[in-house]
Structure 1
Amino acid sequence: MTQPRGAERPPMPETEPLPGLTWGLKRSFIRYISMLPDGGHSVSGSASLTYSSFFNFEPAADSTYDPITGRGALKFVGEVRLTGHHNLLFVMIADPWIEFRDGEATLSVADTRYWPDRRRRIPLAILQAETLSRSIHGVCGEARTFLTGEGVEVFNGQYGDGEELDPVFILGSTPPATMD
């Protein structure tokens, strides 16, 4: 990943984020879509539109995140589809996961090249996860995100490797880790 470019950070949602993952993706991209005569979005599954163009993905039941070790995956469910230019512009963000390992956090999404297979993933963004709080009850907080080289194709090459995206807001609970 290249060095992130300096970008003005979007404001945090005006009210507390809903449980799950709340994300504006990239505000300038959302504004661009909204200005297109045929620009639009749809949400399905357990995704919803909140806070004037912030998307929320509900927590999935099969997360593997262990709050004691800080490793594993926080999984979220739902789909967001953004379209424009008579469907020549199409971006789909489905079932985001945040995987924590070796002090790093990566946000991946279902790889639409293999749709509807949701098991194949593409790393979309690197998170600056040190700003997240974790406890036995889960993870919460805001983390800056930066587009990965693999994620460039999700946005049809409009943004480069290392481009700063909007921060994610996580309000997630995890099942308590078992003590052996």
Structure 2
Amino acid sequence: MNAAAENGHLTPVKTGLVWGLKRSLLAYLQRIPDGAVSIDRGARFTSTYAFLFPLLNSDSFDPTTGSGVLQFGGVIHLHGHFGTMDVTLAEPWLHLDGHVGSLSFGAPGDTAHGVRSTLFEIPDVPRAASVDGTIRWDGLLPSIGVTGAELFKGNYPIGTAFDPLDVRIPVPT
């Protein structure tokens, strides 16, 4: 991730989903000989070395009920152990239903079929704040679900907390 900073690929956050994923995992990948973290299709690193997934669509979100789907773009890829760790998280969608939520991800490269998997649950979603023309949630706490635990090959049991995430979307006009 330091190479991204040296090459000027750090992005200030205005709208999008910002997430450090699991800092201990990313630090581990930096320590192993073939560990790699890459970004693609619009994902960026923030100044705090979190991932920024750009907002693609918020049309179905209803700010009065706090429900709907926020669609974000970008891909992160985690690789290590000579291919036995090969995890791609593509185009996250934040599904909100009042005070609960979940994060689903698309199948890498599958934009035509719409195949998605819910990998993380967010059991407590507070009411969003409206600040400077944006609706924002700070510090949402995702925990890994059944499919997420399978993707990470059981290294993170169901319910394991991952890093907090922040979300910014424009106030609907």
TM-score, normalised by the number of residues in structure 2 = 0.81
Counterpart position of 2:92: 96
Deviations 1:82-112 (A, max 9, x none): 1011222111111111111253111111145
8 Å CA contact 1:49–1:55 kept in 2: the answer is yes
Residue 118 of structure 2: which of 97, 102, 123 is its match? 123
Look up the SS of the partner of 2:60 in the other structure. coil
How many percent identity over aligned positions?
28
The verdict on how the C-alpha distance between 1:50 and 1:93 changes in structure 2, with shifts beyond 3 A counting, is same
Counterpart position of 1:74: 70
Deviations 1:107-134 (A, max 9, x none): 111145xx52461111111222116435
The verdict on how the C-alpha distance between 1:54 and 1:20 changes in structure 2, with shifts beyond 3 A counting, is same
Counterpart position of 2:7: none
Q: C-alpha root-mean-square deviation of aligned residues, in Å?
A: 2.4
Stretches of 4+ aligned residues off by more than 6 angstroms? none
Higher relative contact order (CA 8 A, sep 6+): 1
8 Å CA contact 2:140–2:166 kept in 1: the answer is yes
Q: Which amino acid letter does the alignment assign opposite residue 118 of structure 2?
A: P
8 Å CA contact 1:131–1:142 kept in 2: the answer is no
Counterpart position of 2:9: none
**5+ long unaligned stretches in structure 1:** 1-15
How many residue pairs align between the two structures? 160
Q: In the alignment, is residue 44 of structure 1 matched against residue 54 of structure 2? A: no
Residue 20 of structure 1: which of 3, 16, 23 is its match? 16
Look up the SS of the partner of 1:86 in the other structure. helix
TM-score, normalised by the number of residues in structure 1 = 0.78
The verdict on how the C-alpha distance between 1:105 and 1:134 changes in structure 2, with shifts beyond 3 A counting, is farther
**5+ long unaligned stretches in structure 2:** 1-11
Look up the SS of the partner of 1:80 in the other structure. strand
Residue 63 of structure 1 deviates from its aligned partner by 4.2
Q: In the alignment, is residue 141 of structure 1 matched against residue 135 of structure 2? A: no
Residue 86 of structure 1: which of 82, 89, 108 is its match? 82
Q: Which amino acid letter does the alignment assign opposite residue 120 of structure 2?
A: A
In 1, Cα distance between the equivalents of 2:77 and 2:39? 6
Counterpart position of 2:4: none
